Amino acid sequence: MHNFTFKNKTEILFGKGQVQEMRSRMPNDKKILFVYGGGSIKKNGIYDDVLKTLEGFDYVEFSGVEPNPTYETLSKAVEIAKTQDIGFILAVGGGSVIDGAKYIAAAAHYDGDGWDILVNGAPVTTALPIGAVLTLPATGSESNGNSVVTKKATSQKRAFGTPVVQPEFAVLDPSYTFSLPTRQISNGVVDAFVHVIEQYLTYSVNAPLQDRFAEGILSTLIEEGPKALANPTDYDTRANVMWSATMALNGLIGQGVPQDWATHMIGHELTALYNLDHAVTLAIVLPPLMYVQQDKKRDKLIQLGERVFGLQMEDKDKLIEETIKQTQNFFEKMGIRTKLSDYELAADEVTKAIDNLKKNGHTALGEHQDITPEIADRILTLAI
Amino acid sequence: MHNFTFKNKTEILFGKGQVQEMRSRMPNDKKILFVYGGGSIKKNGIYDDVLKTLEGFDYVEFSGVEPNPTYETLSKAVEIAKTQDIGFILAVGGGSVIDGAKYIAAAAHYDGDGWDILVNGAPVTTALPIGAVLTLPATGSESNGNSVVTKKATSQKRAFGTPVVQPEFAVLDPSYTFSLPTRQISNGVVDAFVHVIEQYLTYSVNAPLQDRFAEGILSTLIEEGPKALANPTDYDTRANVMWSATMALNGLIGQGVPQDWATHMIGHELTALYNLDHAVTLAIVLPPLMYVQQDKKRDKLIQLGERVFGLQMEDKDKLIEETIKQTQNFFEKMGIRTKLSDYELAADEVTKAIDNLKKNGHTALGEHQDITPEIADRILTLAI
């Protein structure tokens, strides 16, 4: 096991009705910026719950944070935070809204253009405190310090991460996910699944507990994901998906072990160019990546097949083949097509994506930094 | 799944050499109280490492915190903390030293006799901050807010718990456990194992991720525990045991699920009366408790047998019987005898223990509060 340093400061308020617990956790001597997205929370009752919780607090609303939140939109909120002396941000939404809130929180305390944080690595030493109400289980953003922001003007999608912007609390009420569109549940489950895979499917460093925690999340998502699609208002199922998605990327399972974020990096280029949903790109990239990297990931692929998919085969090559097939089948079962051709993309589009990968300097991906653009090309070509 | 609120504020500094990371996490404008136990840290080099790390800091030493730390000893440290304007406590040791530090931290900020906190439930709203260097993986005290203290004068063993006294950081260096006596490794592994069981072996509330995390820790302890005995200086094995013991009682796996601390409560009486090691009492009590409560715990016993011990049997009653036997075998394999008669205790001693259980008001234990003194008597009688 490698050395590690781990702390997760977010207080999880999990369960039905927990939104009211926010009252004792928000400052009543400071102005709160209530940030949300496109307004779906007004249709499903979450907005009303939040307003009730905010009664007696001094707050201002900021709506319109889009999926893949943009610098352009967030800059307006930063302006409000700076001019209206905001002291706390309440983010109500999915990963995009919470990622956006993190940018606002950091930029509000930054003397200059906040974009510096994303492109020039300007250090974030202070930020507005954030509270989150999660409406879409997927990214884990509610209890980590990571944020991804896009600058529309230059088509740049950049990330930053620091515990300074990690939410102080996160309300996880499974009933808040009942009204989510099917597509968002599909995406959320697949996103969480791949987050786990990226921290697990590498090589062994003799860290059996991390392995078993990762396998526990994968097994739970495989079991509960299809149920979440079939029975949208089954509370326990949604609770299990929600808790799994948070545990998938709150830092815990990745401590002391190698990681491989190649699927995410290659997928990002497909989203940037062809506007595919983030989770869709992961479902497209992961199976051929497993196939191409199978020698490097051999032991873990076998372990995944045996422990998570319950496969027992003498012929380990066949077992690996079947493990990859079952992974792909799971994505399809979650309602996500896994081939580029399903989205009318082919060799030309692959070439463009690989060109961008090079342009962005992502020329050595994976846990061994051996996924060159040529190998990424092979992966995407297999995905056609 | 039940509602829950969860936060773990402790920063884990895991791995070889991590003790030096403390330097940036301790205050250099306040006096530090360096608390430790009987002096074994002077023989194994940990004391020297800590002194090196403390170079340039203002600190005072307090040694002699005993196993099952006493109010009498700790009160001397409280006096030092109060009169010498201590601003931070560094606890170097196992669960007893860290539990003791928590009491010192709370009592130092309490206006009156600190024992009030344990017997009269005096609220702990403020305490000295604590940092911990763990030398014995077992209790999980390094990253939770619980503390057990004994008052010698009245033979009272009492507990208190609050996040206020939870360590700010915990150094977990597996190499610091190389020199531990065999008995302490045996005890530590069994203690951690039973901590998991107490949060797992109840009834299902449809919380599969919590179940799988618990099973992951149990499987890892079963796998790594005997190796830790056989190869005391195998770093990875010690690392896996250490991380498992922390995860066993840092609050995570018990969120949203019922718990049953009857084994601990019954065991405490055996320690109080007959001075048996804490883990020894757990190893004695758990197997007959599983047997007596098997109807109430049926589904979880089957799940434990199948998933953790890898049993496959048509006859589920036989499977449960075998699961209990394997649990007992594991304790014996870890070098702990599991019968009261192994310690020359018999029916008379059982009667005394049950009398004390009644005297202390523990008359309704277990996840259903249905373990009466009569049932506890049956459990202990089976253990003879």
B330-354 per-position pLDDT tens digit? 999 999 999 999 999 999 999 999 9
pLDDT of A155 strictly over 90? no
**Cβ A240–B207 below 8 Å, yes or no?**
yes
Query: What tens digit of pLDDT does each residue of B253-265 get?
Result: 999 999 999 999 9
Nearest-Cα distance to chain B for A175, in Å, is 12
pLDDT on residue B43: 93
| Phi then psi dihedrals of residue B88, to 5 deg | -160, 145
The model's confidence at residue A154, banded by pLDDT at 50, 70 and 90, is confident
Where does the pLDDT of residue B155 fall: very low under 50, low under 70, confident under 90, or very high at 90 and above?
Answer: confident
Shortest Cα–Cα distance, B172 to chain A (Å): 10
Which chain A residues are Cβ-neighbours of B217 within 8 angstroms?
A: 209, 212
Please report the pLDDT score of residue B39 as a whole number.
Answer: 84
Q: Between chains, do B209 and A11 touch, taking CB under 8 Å as contact?
A: no
Q: How far is A245 from chain B (nearest CA, A)?
A: 11
Using a CB-CB cut-off of 8 Å, the residues of chain A touching B213 are 212-213, 216
Which class would CATH give B11-176? alpha beta
pLDDT at A156: 81
pLDDT value, residue B98: 98
Q: What is the DSSP string of A324-382?
A: HHHHHHHHHHTT----GGGGT--HHHHHHHHHHHHHTT--SBTTTT-B-HHHHHHHHHH
| Nearest CB to A209; choose among B4, B13, B244 | B244
Cβ-based contacts of B8 with chain A (< 8 Å): 8
Which of B4, B21, B243 comes nearest A5 by C-beta?
A: B21
Q: How many angstroms separate the CA atoms of A278 and A192, rounded?
A: 11
Nearest CA in chain A to B224: A208
Q: CB B9 to CB A4 under 8 A?
A: no
Mean pLDDT confidence for B245-256: 98
Contact list, A239 vs chain B (CB under 8 Å):
1, 206-207, 256
Give B96 to chain A, closest Cα distance, Å: 23
pLDDT at residue number B100:
98
CA B324 to chain centre: 22
Judged by CB atoms closer than 8 Å, whether chains meet at A240 and B215 is answered as: no
From A3, A206, A247, residue closest to B18, measured CB to CB = A3
A166 to A8, A52, A128, A162, A244: CA distances (angstroms): 9, 25, 10, 7, 19
A191: its two tokens: 């996103």
| Radius of gyration, CA atoms only, chain B | 21
The residue among A51, A138, A152, A151 whose CA lies nearest residue A107 is A151
A34 pLDDT more than 90: yes
Rg (CA), chain A: 21
pLDDT greater than 90 at residue A267: yes
Residue B272's pLDDT band, with cuts at 50, 70 and 90, is confident
Of A5, A207, A216, the CB nearest to B213: A216
What is residue B60's three-state secondary structure?
A: strand
What CA–CA distance (Å, rounded) separates B79 from B74? 9
CA distance B362 to B371: 9
- What residues does each domain of chain A span? 11-176, 182-382
In the CATH hierarchy, which top-level class contains the domain B182-382?
mainly alpha
Please indicate whether, in this complex, the C-beta atoms of B14 and A21 are within 8 angstroms of each other. no
Give per-residue pLDDT as tens, A89-129.
999 999 999 999 999 999 999 999 999 999 988 999 999 99
B217 and A209 in contact by Cβ < 8 A? yes
pLDDT > 90 fraction of chain A, expressed in percent and rounded: 96
CA distance A92 to A65: 10
Q: Residues of chain A with pLDDT > 70: what percent? A: 100
Region A294-308 average pLDDT: 98
Which residue is closest to A5 within chain B, CA to CA? B13
Task: Name the 3-class secondary structure at B109.
Answer: coil
How far is A91 from chain B, CA to nearest CA, in Å?
19
CB–CB of B2 and A15 under 8 A? yes
Banded model confidence at residue B360, pLDDT cuts 50, 70, 90: confident
Whether A328 shows a pLDDT value over 90: the answer reads yes
**Chain A residue with minimum CA distance to B11:** A7
Mutate one of A196, A205, A210, A213 to test the B interface: name it (highest B CB count within 10 A): A213
pLDDT at B213: 98
B13, B16, B189, B209: which to substitute to probe chain A, counting the most A Cβ within 10 Å?
Answer: B209
| Contacts with A306 from chain B: Cβ below 8 Å | none
**Cα distance from N-terminal residue to C-terminal residue, chain B:** 38
Domains A11-176 and A182-382 share a fold: no
Phi first, then psi, for residue B129 (nearest 5°) are -70, 150
Chain B residues within 8 Å of chain A (Cβ atoms): 1-18, 21, 206-209, 212-213, 215-217, 219-220, 223-224, 236, 239-240, 243-244, 247, 252, 255-256
Please state, rounded to an integer, the average pLDDT across all residues of chain A.
97
The alpha carbon dihedral of A275, A280, A283, A284 has a sign of negative
Nearest CA in chain B to A248: B209
CA B265 to chain centre: 13
Question: What is the tens place of the pLDDT at every residue in B1-55?
Answer: 999 999 999 999 999 999 999 999 999 999 999 999 988 999 999 999 999 999 9
Interface of A with B (CB under 8 A): 1-18, 21, 206-209, 212-213, 215-217, 219-220, 223-224, 236, 239-240, 243-244, 247, 252, 255-256
Query: CA B23, B26, B27, B32 torsion: positive or negative?
Result: negative
Got the DSSP string for A13-26? EESTTGGGGGGGGS
- What residue in A sits closest to B12 (Cα-Cα)? A6
Q: A131: helix, coil or strand?
A: strand
Report the alpha-carbon distance of residue A76 to residue B25 in Å, rounded: 37
How far does B339 lie from chain A, in Å, by closest CA?
30
Nearest chain B residue to A235 by CA distance is B1
Which tens digits make up the pLDDT trace of B191-223? 999 999 999 999 999 999 999 999 999 999 999
Burial class (CB in 10 A: 0-12, 13-18, 19+), B141: buried
- Mutant choice from A19, A209, A231 vs B, greatest count of B C-beta within 10 A: A209
Q: What is the DSSP letter of B71?
A: H
Contact B1 A236 (CB under 8 A): yes
Whether A207 and B240 lie within 8 Å, measured CB to CB: yes
Give SS3 for B4. Answer: strand
pLDDT averaged over chain B?
Answer: 97
Q: Would the ipTM clear 0.85, i.e. be above it?
A: yes
Across B280-292, average pLDDT? 98
pLDDT surpasses 90 at B157: no
Q: What pLDDT digit, counting tens, does each position of B42-99 carry?
A: 999 999 999 999 999 999 999 999 998 999 999 999 999 999 999 999 999 999 999 9
Cβ contact (<8 Å) for A15 and B3?
Answer: yes
Q: What are B136's two structure tokens?
A: 């014995």
The answer to whether A266 and A349 have CB atoms below 8 angstroms apart is no
